[in-house]
Amino acid sequence: MRLSRTSYEGAFLPGATGIVHLGIGAFARAHQAVFTEEAMAATGDDRWGICGATMRGPGVVEQLGPQNGLYSVRAGGDLRVVGAVTEVLRPGDDLLTDRLAAPGTQVVTVTITEKGYRAGPAVDRLVAGLRARAAADAGPITVLSCDNLPSNGARLATLVRAAAEPRLLGWIGEQVRFPCTMVDRIVPASTPADLAEAAARLGLEDRGAVVAEPFLQWVIEDDFAAGRPAWEKAGALLVARAGPYEVMKLRLLNGSHSALAYLSAREHVAQALGELREALVRLMDEVTPTLGELDGVDLGAYKASLLERFANPELRHRTAQIAADGSQKLPQRLLDPARELLAAGREPRWIALVVAGWMAHVSTAAAVDDPLAGRLRATGDAARVAGRLLAVREVFGEDLPEHAGFRELVTEALERIMAEGAAATVRAYLAEP
C-alpha cells in the first residue's frame, strides 16, 4: 500500500495553499518544505501549504501524486512524514499560472538549479503567472530564490524583468520583492535502498522518500511584499543582507564538494574525504580571505563542521551527482574567489588544482552531464586542453583566460594530473611548503 492521506494519519496537513514552489525536487522537499511545515505547526497558521511544480519531467508527480503530496524525510536516525505539499503539477500544466495568480498565494519559492538561470522555461512560466496575477489584481507577492547562486534573488529579478513587457515591469516594481537567501542541507539522490528502508519503517511504500543530513540552515533577507510563514519559528535566520552568508556557503561547502568530485575517483563523498581531508583544509584556508563580514559566524568552527558533515557515511552522497553541471557551478564556487585572490596578489593554487581536476573530468569521462558537454571535450597535451577549456567564456569569462598566472597554475596542475593521476598530484601539493 502506498503512503497517502488515507493510509497515514500522522502528518501535519495545511488548511490552504499559500506558496508555489518551482522545481519541487528532493532538496526543496527536505529543506523549504520542512521549514514551512515546522513554522505552521509552531504557530498554528496553516495557510502555507505548498503547490509544487516540477520543471523537468513527470517523475515527482508520479511519486507524490498518488501519495497526496506526502513523503518521508530520513535524517540520521529520525524519519518523519511531511505533509506541507498540497499539490504537484506537471511541466507545462496550465494550472501553474492559475496558482501563481491566486490571491491566497503570497510566496513563490524557486529551486531550478544553476542551469535554470540560463535556460528560459522556468522564468517564462513565472513571468506568465505574474502577468496573470497583475491582470487579476491579486495583490503583492514575494519571489524567493533558494538556489546556490550569489545574489540569487537579484539574479532572478533581473531575468524576470528582462522577460517582462514594459506594462508588467511597472507592476512588478510596485508589487513584487525578490529577497536573496542562503540554503544549506546536503540531500543526495535517493537510492532503491533508501526507498526500501523508508517502506520498512513506515509499513507503507513511499516512492517520494528523501534522505538528508540532520543539519539544515536557511538565511533569508527580510524583504517581503506580502505575508509569509513564520520561518524563524522553525530556525530560519531573517537578516538584512544574505549575500555574505551565500558567499561563505558557496565557496567553503560547495567549493569543497567540487574538489571531492573532481579530485577523487571514489563513489561517495565520505569515501573521498578520507583521501582529501587535508586538501580541503588547504582549499578552505585559501578561500577564507575572500569572505566578507559574517556576524555571528565562527569560521573556524564552520569549516570544521563541514568536514564532519562530509564524513557522514549514511548519506551516500555520490560524487557523480556533485560533478554534474560543473560549467554552471565552478564560476561562483571557485572562479570568483580566484579572481579576488589574484587581484590581491595571492596565488589561488588549490583552486587551480580543482579547476584542473574538472578539466580532466570533462575531457576524459565517458559521459559528461553538463549543458555545455558538447563544447567541453578536448584532446591533446595539458596546455592544449587547458587552453581550449579556458576559452569557454561562459565559464571563465574574458579575464581569467588572459591572466598568465592563472593559466600557468591550471596548466601545471592539469599536466601533473594527466601524468600522475589526481591522487598523486594532491599528495605532491600537500608535500610542498
363: its cell numbers: 575531457
Threshold 0.85, pTM exceeds? yes
**Are the CB atoms for 11 and 70 separated by under 8 Å?**
yes
Counting Cβ atoms within 10 Å, is residue 344 exposed (0-12), middle (13-18) or buried (19+)? exposed
Counting Cβ atoms within 10 Å, is residue 159 exposed (0-12), middle (13-18) or buried (19+)? buried
The closest alpha carbon to 198, from 67, 24, 87, belongs to 67
DSSP E strands in 83-128: the ranges are 85-89, 107-110
CA distance 84 to 176: 24
Q: What is the pLDDT of residue 323?
A: 97
Residues 6+ apart with CB under 8 A from 392: 327, 372, 375, 376
CA 408 remoteness from chain centre: 31
CA distance 58 to 60: 6
- Look at strands 181-184 and 217-221 and give their pairing: antiparallel
**Are the CB atoms for 168 and 209 separated by under 8 Å?**
no
Least confident of 9-13, 25-29, 253-257, 291-295: 291-295
Q: How does residue 421 score in pLDDT terms, banded at 50, 70 and 90?
A: very high
* Matching residue, cell 569560521: 299
216 phi and psi angles, rounded to 5 deg:
-150, 150
Q: How does residue 227 score in pLDDT terms, banded at 50, 70 and 90?
A: very high
For the segment 8-32, the average pLDDT, to the nearest whole number, is 96
Task: Kindly tell me if the per-residue pLDDT of 333 is higher than 80.
Answer: yes
**Are the CB atoms for 100 and 108 separated by under 8 Å?**
yes
240 phi and psi angles, rounded to 5 deg:
-75, -35
For the segment 87-100, the average pLDDT, to the nearest whole number, is 95
For residue 358, give the amino acid letter: W
For residue 388, give the amino acid letter: R
70: its cell numbers: 506526502
Collapse the DSSP code of 347 into the 3-class scheme (helix H, G, I; strand E, B; otherwise coil) and give the result: coil
Please state, rounded to an integer, the average pLDDT across all residues of the chain: 96
Q: What is the pLDDT of residue 354?
A: 98
Q: How does residue 297 score in pLDDT terms, banded at 50, 70 and 90?
A: confident
For the segment 413-433, the average pLDDT, to the nearest whole number, is 96
| Helix (H), strand (E) counts: the chain | 21, 12
The closest alpha carbon to 245, from 291, 211, 313, belongs to 291
CA distance 229 to 391: 46
Kindly report, residue by residue over 373-412, the tens digit of the pLDDT: 999 999 999 999 999 999 999 999 999 999 999 999 999 9
**Are the CB atoms for 392 and 370 separated by under 8 Å?**
no
For the segment 9-35, the average pLDDT, to the nearest whole number, is 97
Kindly report, residue by residue over 143-174, the tens digit of the pLDDT: 999 999 999 999 999 999 999 999 999 999 99
Q: How does residue 119 score in pLDDT terms, banded at 50, 70 and 90?
A: low
Please state, in angstroms and as integers, the Cα–Cα distance from residue 251 to each residue in 64, 179, 412, following that order: 34, 21, 23
Q: Give the DSSP per-residue string, 162-200.
A: HHS-HHHHHHHHHHEE---EEEE---PPP-HHHHHHHHH
For the segment 315-326, the average pLDDT, to the nearest whole number, is 95
For the segment 348-363, the average pLDDT, to the nearest whole number, is 98
For residue 318, give the amino acid letter: R
For residue 151, give the amino acid letter: S
Per residue in 98-131, is it b (16+ CB within 10 Å) or e — as a string?
A: ebbbbeebbbbbbbbbbbbbeeeebbebbbbbbb
Residues 6+ apart with CB under 8 A from 2: 66, 67, 204, 205, 206, 207
Q: What is the pLDDT of residue 292?
A: 81
Residues 6+ apart with CB under 8 A from 80: 72, 73
